[in-house]
Amino acid sequence: MILSFLFSIGMTNSLNAQVEKGAKIEFVKLTHDYGNIKQGANGLCTFQFSNTGNEDLIIVDAKKSCGCAVPSWLKEPILPGGKGVIEVRYNTKRTGGIAKNVIIISNAINAPTKELRIKGTVASEPVDGEKVKTDNPTY
């Protein structure tokens, strides 16, 4: 009886030890498609995320693939259950295809690095009869 009781306490402690402690990051989307956006239009898009872990989430850095896509974010920790946003502003002065990425570096135990992508086309005229967006709303 005592041996059984000690075994059950040991199993409970073992199961409790298996609960992962740490921040976890979950994004609503990983890619933003501008579609056809007009040259000179607002190139701002947002990537929303949540901290689904049980410790504070800290975004350490956001590395861009070029100078034409500039990320920004709040530097304060995101509490467990909290939400945050990473903004990426693409410079729409040049026409042509958009295929850029931003690497997010955080203390998240499920994804210490996460790649966000932006894509689309900057056009001075409509492409193939499609209406060109003059301003891009944030999501």
Tens of pLDDT, residues 69-97 = 999 999 999 999 999 999 999 999 999 99
Q: 84's torsion region: left (phi>0), alpha (psi -120 to 50) or beta?
A: beta
**pLDDT confidence of residue 19:** 77
Domain annotation for the chain: domains and CATH numbers: 22-123 (2.60.40.10)
Q: What angle do CA 92, 93, 95 make, to 5 degrees?
A: 80
**DSSP letter, residue 128:** T
DSSP 1: -
Residue type, 131: K
pLDDT of 125 > 80? The answer is no
Which tokens is 22 given?
């740490």
pLDDT digits (tens, 9 = 90+) for 23-38: 999 999 999 999 999 9
Local structure of residue 133 (DSSP, 8 states): B
Rounded CA separation 36/106 (Å):
32
Torsion sign across C-alpha atoms 92, 93, 98, 100: negative
- CA 123 – CA 92 distance, rounded (Å): 9
φ/ψ (deg, to 5) at 8: -65, -35
